[in-house]
Amino acid sequence: MPNIREIIKKQKAFYKSVVSVFCPLLNDTIYFTGEGFNHLLGDNPRKRRDINEQYLKLMCLSHAPTIAKNSVRIVEVRKGERFVKHKKKSTVTYELVDGKKRRDNIAVVVERIGTGKLKFRSVKKIRDNRYNNKKAPFGA
């Protein structure tokens, strides 16, 4: 397995090259900000994610722009609040999938704070029936 520092450097360069993509499903542009990349590694530099989790997220990252552009389903919408610059703001988080057949599906997580821009928040591998294009059986 390559050195995690090399992977971070390579994926950071890729991430910076993306800037934004249009998501027809949300009818809006998703911006790939530094905040999103930092969230993949762990928001707090003193409390990083586990190395294996960082590796997994970074390996999925190259699929994120394509999934965002070609997403066919919003699998989860979460509404909440968080403090931004000492003010409580409402947030809406969407998990998007593109419906492609892969061994492991990948979901892209995007967030809107208040009335701001949609921003890439994270990417994750998922192994759950509700993420597939077909409807899951009742009670699954």
pLDDT tens digits for range 37-84: 998 888 766 677 888 888 889 999 999 999 999 998 898 999 999 888
Residue 19, classified by CB atoms within 10 Å of its CB into exposed (0-12), middle (13-18) or buried (19+), is exposed
Q: Do the strands 105-113 and 28-31 form a parallel or antiparallel pair, or are they unpaired?
A: unpaired
Query: Is the pTM for the entire model greater than 0.85?
Result: no
Partners of 20 in the beta sheet?
A: 31
Rg of the Cα trace of the chain?
A: 15
- Band of residue 14 on the pLDDT scale cut at 50, 70, 90: very high
pLDDT tens digits for range 104-122: 688 999 999 999 999 999 9
Could you tell me how many residues make up the chain? 140
pLDDT at residue 137, rounded to an integer: 36
Q: Is 114 within 8 Å of 90 (Cβ atoms)? A: yes
pLDDT at residue 130, rounded to an integer: 52
Separation between Cα atoms, residue 7 and residue 50, nearest integer Å: 15
Q: Does 99 score more than 80 pLDDT?
A: no
Separation between Cα atoms, residue 22 and residue 2, nearest integer Å: 32
